[in-house]
Amino acid sequence: MSVNAMEHEVRWHTSYWPLVLSVGILFLLPLSFSFHFVYKNPLMSIISLGIGVPLTLISIAGWVKEGIEDEHGYSEGHSVWAMPIFIMAEALLFIGFFAAYWVMRLSAPEWPPAGTPEMPLFIPLIMTVLLVSSSMTIHFAEHKMEHNDNGGFLTWLVLTIILGATFLGMSGYEWSELFHEGFNPKTNAYSTSFFSITGFHGSHVLVGLGMFICVLIPAFAGKMSKPLVKATSMYWHFVDIVWLFVVSQIYFW
């Protein structure tokens, strides 16, 4: 066998972090939501969250650490081409949410239904500016990475995280104000769609911020996985594009 063939020989690697992450997500989302909304058992819901949150965070940290250290080159050919497949799956989930919303919207005798307050339009516009700007900043960060400018990469990445966190903060503020007005997921068909779609999108923003932090911490020590950064950037652009559909359909239609 030639040297080049030996260098490109397939090497199997076993990781238990995907399994731990799956268990964490099971407790974090399906079980906690089922206990709270279906079985009306807040205590079990809190216990599920208490199990799911640390398992999810620990598994993400362990998985990323595994890729960042990359002693055997496992991450070189996987994350960049695998991310589009994951994005396609997530896009189908969003399409399902939007399709349900369109059916209700077009078949309703009046829209928005009774009980819906006047929705704020200025806040979602500001949120849109923040998220679009964050797509630009992560692009600049990736550009700095390609030119081996670690300081510039960190600056633009931190700015991206700040913009994304501000977006989430404004979304939380908006939800809080609507809840104070008595507008919640149970109010009417529009409220169910509004909180489901914006909440689902917000969860993706939160995941993206978590991925950025997983990139940021090792980068401070000079460790960086370029495939991980590229995959994370790709995911963030997807989240930003989806928001344009959310804001146009949910707020302005």
Domain of residue 123, residue span: 78-251
Residues 83, 44 within the same domain: no
Residues 226, 133 within the same domain: yes
Residues 61, 87 within the same domain: no
Q: What band does 236 get if pLDDT is binned at 50, 70 and 90? A: very high
What's the pLDDT at 11?
A: 59
User: For the chain, where are the E strands, in sequence order?
Assistant: none
Residues 167, 215 within the same domain: yes
Give yes or no for a contact between 242 and 204, defined as CB atoms under 8 angstroms apart: yes
Residues 61, 82 within the same domain: no
pLDDT in tens, 11-32: 566 778 878 888 988 898 788 8
Residues 235, 116 within the same domain: yes
pLDDT in tens, 111-155: 989 889 988 899 999 999 999 999 999 999 999 999 999 999 999
Q: How many domains does the chain have?
A: 2
Residues 23, 104 within the same domain: no
Residues 37, 96 within the same domain: no
* Percent of the chain as helix, strand, coil, to the nearest 5: 80, 0, 20
**C-alpha gyration radius of the chain:** 21
Residues 7, 116 within the same domain: no
Q: Which of 21, 41, 17 is nearest to 31 (CA)?
A: 41
Residues 32, 64 within the same domain: yes
CATH of the domain at 131: 1.20.120.80
What's the pLDDT at 3?
A: 43
Q: Give the 3-state secondary structure of 66-96.
A: HHHHCCCCCCCCCHHHHHHHHHHHHHHHHHH
Q: Residue 203, CB half-sphere, CA atoms under 13 Å: how many?
A: 10
